Structure 1
Amino acid sequence: MAVARRGRQEGARFLEGDGADEFMAAFKRAVVPEDRRAAARDVLPPVVLLADGGGGGGGGGEDPDGRAHGAVRGLERCLRRERGGKLVPYAALGAAEAARAARGRRPLTLTVGQRLCEDVPSRTGRLRLRDFQLMRDVVECALEQGPEAPQLTGEQLRDRCYEGRRGRGPVLRTLWRLGGGDPPTAQSTAQSPGWIALVLGAVARPVLQVLPRWWWARRCTRRLLWSRSTGWFADWRDIGHGRRAEEFFDSVARLVTGDGTGDGTGDGTGDEAPDEAQDELEQLLLRALLADLKAAVRPGRISPWRRRRATRFTVLLELADGGSGDPAARFLREYGPAAEELSCAAVVVVAAGSAGAAVPGERCARLSDAAAALDHATGSPEGDLEPLLAPLVPLPPGARQRSVPRSGPVSPPDFRMGPVAEVVLEGVALVAVVGVLGAWLVPMTLGGRDATCLGGPAGGPLSGRAELSAAPPRQQYEAAARMIEEENGRVDQAVRRRGVEARTVVHIGAEVARDQEGQRYNGAVPELRGIALAQRALNEEARNDERKVWLRVRMLNAGEEFKDAERRARQVVEDAGRKGSGIIGVVGFSKSLKQTQGAIRELGRAKIPVVGTTATADAMDGGRYYRRVAPTNSREARIEADFAHRGNITDSGSGGCSPAEAAVVVQDPQDLYSNEIGDLFAEQFGGDWTKLEYSPGGRSGGAPEPGGGRVTRQDSIEDVADAVCERIKEQPRTVLYWASRAREFTAFLDVFGDDTSCEGRKLTVLGGNELTTAALSGEYEDRPWLRLYHTAHVLPAGHPRGSDITKEFNAEYAAVFGATDLWRNDGRAALAHDAMQLMAAAANEAFASTGDVERSNVQISLDNGINKEGASGYLDFGRGARVSRDKPLVILHHTAKGSEPVLFCGAFAQNTGRVERWGPDGEFACPKDG
C-alpha cells in the first residue's frame, strides 16, 4: 500500500516504454489540432491505458504501483497551467468520483458535464450545455421517483424540468414571481382569496406562467424532435421528424420510466433490468452532452469568445479494478456508439486502469500504435468506435519515473487581443462600413435609380404562341382515351400471339364533364395525353426487349373534383385482390384534395404502389407505398419566398421594380392544397405578411386560427379584392401570393380591376402551378396593370436547358398534338409521362431480377431506389425516398412574346443539367431541399 500511495502522490510520473513520447505528442495534437476544422470533422476513438503491460490480455490484477492513477493525474497536469487555471476544457474523474456515482446509481455523465462547465479556460466564454442541462433535469426527476413510485407522465415531467430551467434563468424566474409564484397550498386556499389573487389567477398566471412554460416545452420539441439538424433525440429513438411527431416530454417520460427503453419498443411495464435502465440513462445524457459539445466547438465567426475555442474537450477517467458495474467502464462502452451516431469530433477521451477493467476494445501492442490511431482518425468511422486498449509498460526494478512529461504541457493558440477589445474593434469597423455603404446607397435611392423589373416591364396582353384548340376539353380527353384503348388492344394481341408478360396500371383521374364545352382549359387532358404517350413508348421498348413488361392502362373516372376518389380506390383494392388481375399499381391523383388524400391512404393500406402526377401537397404523403414526380409544396414555397424576397418584381413607384417587402396570402382553409401552400409560403416569407381566408360557395371553415390580427376571414370575392387593395395602398411593394384555385383568381381580377379603389394601380401576383394552365390559355389577357409570376414543373419547349429526354418527349408531343398546342408547356403531360416511366422502371426491374412482376416485387424495386432521366427532369429516387431529390421548379413571367422563365432551379438532367443559381448573371443561390 505504501507503493500505491507513493504512486498517487507523484501525479505526473506515468509514461515509460516504447511509444511514450509518440503517444504524448499525439495526445496533444488531438487536444489542440493544427487544423481547427478537425475538431468538427475527425471523430477520435477513446484510449484506455492498462497498467499490466499486457494490453488487457491476461492480467486481471490490481494496480499496485499506482501507475493508472498517475497516468490520469499526469495527463491532467498537461492540461493545466503551472499556477492553476485550465489551458483547455477538461473533466478528470478519479476512482472516488466513479465510486460515488456507483453507490448513488447515477450516470457518470452527470459528473462529466458538471466538471466541463467548471473553471473553463479564460477568454473562451461561458460553456452553455442546453440539451445536457435539460436531460440532467429529466434524469434527476427519474432518479428521485424511485422504483416504487408511480410513473411520471409527460406533463408532470415537463413541469418539474421547467422548475429547474426556471431556477437557472432570471427572466423566467421573474415572470413566475410576477404571475403569482407557486400555486397556493391547501391551507391558503381554505381562506377566501382577495381580489388581487383573483386577478393573478385569471390574467397574470396564464400569461406569465402557463404561456412561457408552454412555449419553452414547444421549443424543446421543435429542437429535439422536429428539427433535422438538432433533432438527435428523434434520430436516436427512431421517431420521425416533422410537426406530426409527438411531444418531446411524452416520449422521454416513457424512456426514463421504463416504457420504450431498450430497442425503442418497450411494453410499458417498467421492470427492465437495472443495468439496462442505467445504460439508457447514460446514453440519454451522453448524447445530449455530445450534441452540445459538438455545437460549442464549432468555430465562431462573429463571437471572439467562440473563436478562442481552438481545442477539443477532454475527459480523463480512472477505471475500477473490474466488473461491468463500473460507471467509468459503462461510460466508455456507451461513448463510442453515441459519438459515431452524432459525428461528434469535439471530445478526446482517455482512461487508465488495471487489466481487469471491463472495457472491450481493440488491442494495441504499444503506445505508439494508439498514437498512430489518434493521428489518423477519420470523420466517418466504419463500424463501432471501439476503445483502443494500450499498455502502460511496467518499470524495471529500481527505475524511477519521470516527474514531468518530456514535451511539457499543451499549448493552445495565444490571442494577443482580449475578446472585449475585439468586440469594440469589430463594432467600430461595422459602423464604418455601414456609413460608407449608406453614403453610397442613399444618393442612389433619392435620385430614383430603380432596378430593372425581373422579366421585363409589365404591360400588354399576357398571351403566347400557344393556340387554343377548336375542340372542347371533353372531346380532346376522349381522343386521348381512345389512344390508350387502342394501345391496350395492341397489348392483348401481343399476349395472345407471342405470350409476352403484360401487366395493368390503373389511372385514377378527374372527370371532364360534357356540359363544360365553353371551358378553355382542363388539366385532365394533358395528363391523359402524357400517359398515352408513355404507354406507347414503353410498349415499344418491351417489343424490342423481352426483359421488359408490356403495360395496359385501365382508366377510372373519379368524378368532378375527385369526389368519387375513395370509392374508386376501394374498387381498385377489390379488383387487385382477385387472382390474375395483373394490377401492379396506380398513377394519377392530379390534385391535392382531402378526397384524393383519403384514396391514397386506402391504396396504401392495401399495399398497392401509387405514383402521383401533379399533386404537390406534403400532406398527400401516403407512407411507404406512395411516390410523386412533382416537387412538394414545401420545396415550392421555399423557392417562391426566396424569389419574392430577392427578385425585383414589385412596383417601386418610379418606373422600376424592387423585391417585395410585404405579402398578402389568399388561401382557402377548406382546400388541402391551398391551405397548406399558403401557410408554407407565409412561414418561409416571414416578416410582414397577411392572410386572407376565403372559401368559395359559402363553405364554412370555422374561426380562423390565431394569427395576431394577421389572419382575417372574407365572406366574398369582393371582400378579398377590397382587402388586397387596402393592403397595397398601405404598402405598394406588396406581392399577392395566390394560393387558391384558378377559377377564384379570374373572379378576383374581374373585381379588382373595376370595382375597387385600386383601379389602374400596379398589382404583382405570385402563384403556384394551379394558375399555369389558365395563364397559358390566355385567361388573364388584356390586364396591363397585372404583373403575373407563376410556377411550372417544366421549362418551355425548346429551352436549351432541357435534357435529351425532355427534347425527345416535346418532339413526340408536337408530332401527335401539334407544335402550338396549348398544353405543350403546361407540365402536366410531362409529369404524367414520368409517373408511368417510374412505375414501368420498377416493373421491369422486378421482372429482370426475379422473373415475377407481382405488386410486392414492384414495391421492392421502388423501395430500393430508381434513378432515371425523365421528361420533367431527372428522377432521383434514392433508397426509400418518396420524393425525387432537387426536382425542377420553374417560375414563369408572361409577356406578349409568350412564357418567359425568370427562375429555374433543380436537376433537369443527371450530369450537366443541375441548376443551382438563378437571377441576373446567376446572382442568387437556389434554395436547397430541407
Structure 2
Amino acid sequence: AFFGWRANRRMLGRARSRSWYAEWVRRQHGSPPTDFFRSALDLVHGEPASEPERMDRVLMHALLADLDQACRPRLLNPWRRRRTSRFVLLFDDAGPADSRVQRFLRELRSAVEDLRCTSVFAVAGGVRSLASRIPDINASGLAHAGAELINIERRGMTPGQPTGIVVPVAEGPEDDQAAVYWLGRWPTLVTPSPRWGPGAEVAGVLGIGVLALALAAALFLVPDVGGRERDDPCQGSTFLGTDGQCVGVAEGAAGFGDEPSEQALRAVLQQIERQNEEVDRELAGRPREDPRPGRRTVVYFGPLTGGKDAEDPVRGGTLAELRGIALAQGHINTQALRSGERVPLRVLAANAGDRFKDAPAVADRIVELAASDPSIAGVVGFGQSRRNTYEAIHTLDTAGIPMVGTSGTADELLRQGEHYYQTAPTDTRAGELMAAFASAGMTTGGRKVRRVSLVADATDAYSNSLAAAFLASYGQERTDVLLYTPTDAPEPGPVPGALGGRPVPTVEDLAREVCRAVSEEPRTAVVWSARASQFQLFLAEIARISGDCPKISVLGGDDVTNTLTEEQRPWDDFKGLTLYYVSHGYAPELSARSPEAAAFLAAYDRAYGGDHSSGTAAMREDGHVALAWDALRYLAEGIDQAWRTTGGHDDRLDRGLLQGVLYQGLGGGGFDGATGRIDAHGAAGGGRLTEDKLLAVLRGGSDGTTTELLCGTVARGDERTRWGPKGEEHLCP
C-alpha cells in the first residue's frame, strides 16, 4: 500500500503541481488521472507497435519534463540557475514520413507547444515530407531563418504561431570530415558566463537573506524605523479621529491647534504647557521626605480641533473655556507653591473631536491613562450636551473618575453618573428665566413682546432641553416652534422625547419664516435655543431679505455668547438686531461684592490686557471663561480637602479619597466663585449642582453691555430674588 501511494504521488504529483504524466493524460482525456496504475494499463493494452505515435507522445512528455526540471530556476541552487544556452538536438536526416525520427520531431513540436517548453531546439535535415503535413514558417534561406528566430526571441511566441521553420538548402560539397570529427568529440558547446562562481553566488544569496531578516526585525524592534511616526502624526495617547485630526490626550499644545484659525487656541495650550513645566521644576528639587503635597493631574475634555467644515474652537466655546482653565491653573499653582498647603495642578488637554464626535473613544483612552497614572485626579469640561458626551461621562463614571462641568448643559447630563458635578445652572432653570424675561421684560421696537418664534434643533440635546423648558414656562399658545437642523449635524436623529414643531429645511427658509411672522405681528421676538455656530448664518439671511422685517429682537441661550467673541459681531451682520442673551456669570457686575470675581478679572487682565481686540474684550465678560475658572477651582478645592485628610502622607491622596470628599460635600457647603455662589453639598447632601445658581440676561450692542436681569446668589449672604426696574420688579423664577 505504501509503495502504491508513493508511486501515485511521484507519477501524478499534487493537485496544484501535476507531474508530466498527469498533465499528458489530462490533455489526452480532458481530466487528470486519479490512479497511475489503472491509467498505465491503458498504454500497454495491445501491442505497442500498433500505436507507435501514442508511445512516442508519452515518452516525449517525459523527456521534456526531465529537461524542464533540469533547467527550472532554483533560489538556492546556483548550478541550476546558471543556464545560458538550450539543449540542441541535431538530426542529419529526418527519414521517410513514418520513420522514428519524423515521429519524434512531430511529437516534439506538439509537446513544445502544449507545455510551452523553451529548453529544447531541434535541427533536422530532409524534412520535406514533414513540412507537407504541418504548417510551418517557410524561410527563403538561412539568413531569413535567423531573422525569424531573432524576432521570436524579442517578441516571444504568440498563440497559434507555427513552431517550425523550413529552410531549403542547395546541394553543396561533401561534409567537412574535420568538422564531423570535432563535433563528435565536443557534442556540447559551453558558452562563457560573466557571472560569479557558484560559491560566491551562494554567499550572496545568504547575505541578502540575512540582511532582509535584520531589516524586518528592525521594523518591529527599533522605534520609528522608516519614519512610521512621521507617517502617523498622532503620538502618545492621541489617535486619528473621525475627521482626520488627532484626538485623545496630550500635554500642552502637542498635536493640537495647527490650523491658522486655531492659533489663539494653540497659544492657550502653550501657556498651560509652560505652567506644567514650572510646577515640575519647582517640585523637582524637593527631597523625598518633604511634607508638602506633590502635583496632581486634571484632564480638560473638549473639542480642540475639527476636520473640514468643522465648528471652530471659538464658535464652539472651547477657546473661552481653555482660557478660564489656564487662568485658574496659574492662580491655584501660585497659591499652592507659595503656601505648601495646597496641591499644585498639572493640566492635560483631551481633544474630543469636532462637536464631541470622538468623545466615547477619548473617554476610553482617559480611563486607560488613569489606570496607569494614579496622579490623574479628575476631568473638567463637557461644554456641550450631546449624546456622545453622555456616553463619555458614563464611561468615566464607571471608572470612578470625578468630573466637573464647565458650561450650561442639559439636565440629562447630571443623570449620566454620580461622579459628575456641575457649576452652571441647568437648562431647565435657564429656560424658566428666559421665559420670565420674555413675558415681562423683553421689548421689540420699544413695545412689549406678544409672540415668540422659538428656534430649536431637535437632534441637539442642549437645544431641545433649553427649548422645552422655555416652552413649558412661556406657554404654547404664544409660541411658534421652528425646528432647524444643520446639514452637518453630528447627531443621527432627534433626541428621545424631542420637541414638536414645524420643520424648516434650510437657514434661508428659517429666515423667511421668522421674517413673515414679524411682518404679520411686529411684536414677535425670536428665542434662539440652537447653537451659536448657526446664529450668524441666520442673521446674514435676515439681512438679505430684511425689507419685510427691518428690526428683530432676539433672546439667545448662553451658547449665543460665543458669537460675541468673534471679530464680526452679530449686530454687524444685521443692523436692525436687538440682542438679549443669557449669561452664566458676569464677572464685571460681581467684582465689587465677590473677591473671587475680582481675582478672576485681575488674572484675565494680566494675561490678555495687552490684546485690545473686540473678541478678547468680550471674552472678559463671557460666562464661559469664568465658569471654567470655577470648575477647576471646584475640583482643586476637593483635592486640597482630600489631601488634608491624609495627615501629610501624599501617597495616600488618590481618586478614591477625592471621590469621598466630593460625595460628602466640600467644607462650608461651597465657596464664592467668579460666577456667583457655588454650592457643594455633594451627592450625599442632596445634589451635585447649585439650585439657585446666579443667572443674568444681558443686552449687547455696539455701545456696550447692559444687565437686564440678575437672579441667584452672588456671594454668601447676597441672594437676588427680584429683577426689573425699581417700582416694576418681578420675582425671580
TM-score scaled to structure 1, two decimals? Answer: 0.46
Could you tell me which residue of structure 2 aligns to residue 677 of structure 1?
466
Aligned to 2:638: 842
Is contact 1:473-1:512 (8 Å) kept? no
Residue in structure 2 matched with residue 763 of structure 1 by the alignment: 552
Please state how far the C-alpha of 1:551 moved relative to its aligned partner: 1.3
Equivalent position of 2:653 in the other structure: 853
2:313 and 2:332 mapped to 1: Cα distance? 32
After superposition, residues 9-158 of structure 1 pair within 5 angstroms as none
1:877 counterpart = 2:680: yes
Deviation string 1:368-417 (CA, Å, 9 cap, x unpaired) is xxxxxxxxxxxxxxxxxxxxxxxxxxxxxxxxxxxxxxxxxxxxxxxxxx
Gap change, CA 1:601 and 1:733, over 3 Å in 2: same
1:508 matches 2:301: yes
1:572 equivalenced with 2:366 (yes/no): yes
Alignment of 1:793 with 2:584, yes or no, is yes
> How has the CA–CA distance of structure 1 residues 667 and 623 changed in structure 2, closer, same or farther, with 3 Å as cutoff?
same
Amino acid at match of 1:662: R
1:863 to 652, 663, 666: 663
Cα gap change, 1:796/1:787 in structure 2, threshold over 3 Å: closer, same or farther? farther
Which whole-Å CA distance do the structure 1 matches of 2:556 and 2:641 have between them? 39
* 1:657 equivalent in alignment to 2:447: yes
- Asked whether the equivalents of residues 694 and 712 of structure 2 are also in contact (C-alpha less than 8 Å), the reply is yes
| Inter-partner Cα distance in structure 2 for 1:874 and 1:835 | 12
CA displacement, residues 510-545 of structure 1 (integer Å, 9 cap, x when unaligned): 124598899975522221121111112212222233
Amino acid at match of 1:859: Q
State whether residues 792 and 890 of structure 1, in contact with CA within 8 Å, keep that contact through their aligned partners in structure 2: yes
- Secondary structure of the 2:585 match is coil
- Cα distance in structure 1, aligned partners of 2:725 and 2:266: 44
Post-superposition Cα deviations, 1:128-158, rounded to whole Å, max 9, x if no partner, equal: xxxxxxxxxxxxxxxxxxxxxxxxxxxxxxx
C-alpha contact 1:512 1:522 (8 A) present in aligned 2? no
- CA-to-aligned-CA distance 1:39-59 (integer Å, 9 cap, x gap): xxxxxxxxxxxxxxxxxxxxx
Deviation of residue 715 (structure 1)? 1.3
One of 378, 382, 385 as aligned partner of 1:589: 382
Structure 2 distance, partners of 1:674, 1:648, is: 21
Q: How far does the alpha carbon of each residue in 1:644-689 deviate from its partner, in whole angstroms, 9 at most, with x for none?
A: 01114133xxxx321x222211111111111111111111111321
Distance 1:825 1:702 in 2: 33
Deviation at 1:848, TM superposition (A): 0.5
- Structure 1 residue 618 and structure 2 residue 618: aligned? no
Match of 1:904 in 2: 710
Name the larger-Rg structure: 2
Match of 1:784 in 2: 575
SS at match of 1:831: helix
Distance 2:549 2:311 in 1: 32
Are the counterparts in 1 of residues 303 and 313 from structure 2 also a CA contact under 8 Å? no
Instruction: Provide the C-alpha distance between the structure 2 equivalents of 1:796 and 1:827, rounded to a whole number of angstroms.
Output: 8
Distance 1:476 1:737 in 2: 31
The answer to whether residue 722 in structure 2 is matched with residue 923 in structure 1 is no
CA contact (8 A) 2:591 2:597 kept: no
Distance 1:746 1:676 in 2: 22
1:703 Cα deviation from its structure 2 partner: 12
Mapped to 2, the partners of 1:563 and 1:678 lie a distance apart of: 23
CA distance in 2, matches of 1:562, 1:609: 19
Match of 1:827 in 2: 623
1:772 aligns with 2:561: yes
Given candidates 399, 420, 434, the residue that maps to 1:640 is: 434
Aligned identity (percent) is: 34
In structure 1, what is the Cα distance between the partners aligned to 2:312 and 2:370? 38
Instruction: Indicate the larger mover: 616-625 or 543-552.
Output: 543-552
Equivalent positions of 1:326-345 (< 5 A) are none
In 1, Cα distance between the equivalents of 2:366 and 2:591? 41
Return the offset for 1:781.
2.6
When residues 525 and 758 of structure 1 are mapped into structure 2, their CA distance, relative to the original with a 3 A threshold, is same
Q: In the alignment, is residue 631 of structure 1 matched against residue 422 of structure 2?
A: no
Q: 2:156: which partner in 1?
A: none
State whether structure 2 residue 262 is matched by structure 1 residue 474: yes
Q: Do the aligned partners of 2:590 and 2:714 also contact (CA within 8 Å) in 1?
A: no
Question: Given that residues 511 and 559 in structure 1 are in contact (C-alpha distance below 8 angstroms), is that contact kept between their aligned partners in structure 2?
Answer: yes
Alignment partner, residue 496 of structure 1? 284
Kept after mapping to 2: 8 A contact 1:905/1:917: yes
> What is the rounded CA distance, in whole Å, between the counterparts of 2:408 and 2:386 in structure 1?
9
Given that 1:875 and 1:885 are in contact with CA atoms closer than 8 Å, whether structure 2 keeps it comes out as: no
> Which residue does 1:692 correspond to in 2?
482
Q: Name the CA distance, whole Å, in 1 between partners of 2:506 and 2:378.
A: 42
CA distance 1:706–1:526, shift in 2 (3 Å): closer
- Is the CA contact (8 Å cut-off) linking 1:586 and 1:608 kept in structure 2? yes
- Whether the 8 Å CA contact 1:559–1:565 is kept in 2: the answer is yes
Shift of 1:785: 1.9
Q: Which position in structure 1 is the counterpart of 2:537?
A: 747
Alpha-carbon distance in 2 for matches of 1:926, 1:494: 51
Task: Give me the whole-angstrom Cα distance separating, in 1, the residues matched to 2:417 and 2:495.
Answer: 31
Instruction: Tell me the CA shift for residue 494 of structure 1.
Output: 3.2
The equivalent residue for 1:553 is: 347
Report the residue type matching 1:832 in the other structure. Answer: A
Structure scoring higher RCO (CA < 8 A, sep ≥ 6) equals 1
Distance, in Å, in 1 between the alignment partners of 2:698 and 2:706 is 5
Q: Distance in 2 between matches of 1:589 and 1:610?
A: 9
Contact 1:905 1:926 in 2 (8 A): no
CA shift in 2, pair 1:673/1:798, >3 Å: closer
What whole-Å deviation, never above 9, does each CA across 1:755-810 have from its counterpart, x for those lacking one? Answer: 366242x2111111111121353431343321111111222536665512101210
Structure 2 Cα separation of the partners of residues 784 and 916 of structure 1? 34
Q: Which moved more, 1:683-692 or 1:492-501?
A: 492-501
Q: Deviations over 1:55-90 (max 9, x none)?
A: xxxxxxxxxxxxxxxxxxxxxxxxxxxxxxxxxxxx
The answer to whether the 8 A contact 1:521-1:773 is kept is: yes
Equivalent pair of 1:798/1:807 in contact (CA under 8 Å): no
Query: In structure 1, how many angstroms separate the alpha carbons of the residues matched to 2:731 and 2:548?
Result: 34
In structure 1, stretches of 5+ residues that fail to align are: 1-470
Per-residue Cα deviation, 1:290-319 (whole angstroms, up to 9, x for no partner) = xxxxxxxxxxxxxxxxxxxxxxxxxxxxxx
Closer, same or farther: CA 855–698 of 1 in aligned 2, 3 Å? closer
Distance of aligned partners of 1:517 and 1:646 in 2 relative to their CA distance in 1, 3 Å threshold: closer
Shift of 1:753: 2.7
State how 1:718-757 maps to structure 2 within 5 Å. 718-755=508-545
CA contact (8 A) 2:590 2:676 kept: no
TM-score by length of 2: 0.58
Q: Measure the CA separation in 1 of the matches of 2:311 and 2:531.
A: 20
Is the contact between residue 711 and residue 723 of structure 2 (CA under 8 Å) also seen in structure 1? yes
The answer as to whether partners of 1:874 and 1:908 remain within 8 angstroms in 2 is yes
Distance, in Å, in 1 between the alignment partners of 2:655 and 2:594 is: 31
Q: 1:897 to 1:799 in 2, by over 3 A?
A: farther
1:741–1:905 distance in 2 versus 1, CA, 3 Å? same
Larger deviation: 840-849 or 781-790? Answer: 781-790
Preserved CA contact (<8 Å) 1:917 1:923: no
Q: Which runs of 5+ in 2 are unaligned?
A: 1-258
Match of 1:531 among 316, 325, 330: 325
Structure 1 partner of 2:229: none
Question: CA–CA distance in 2 between the matches of 1:811 and 1:614?
Answer: 22
Question: Which residue number corresponds to residue 811 of structure 1?
Answer: 602
SS of residue in 2 equivalent to 1:797: helix
Change (3 A) 1:824 1:922: farther
**Whole-angstrom CA distance in 1 between matches of 2:411 and 2:313:** 29
RMSD of aligned Cα (Å): 2.6
The answer for the alignment partner of 2:61 in structure 1 is none
Query: In the alignment, which residue of structure 2 is the partner of 1:448?
Result: none
Letter in 2 for 1:862: L
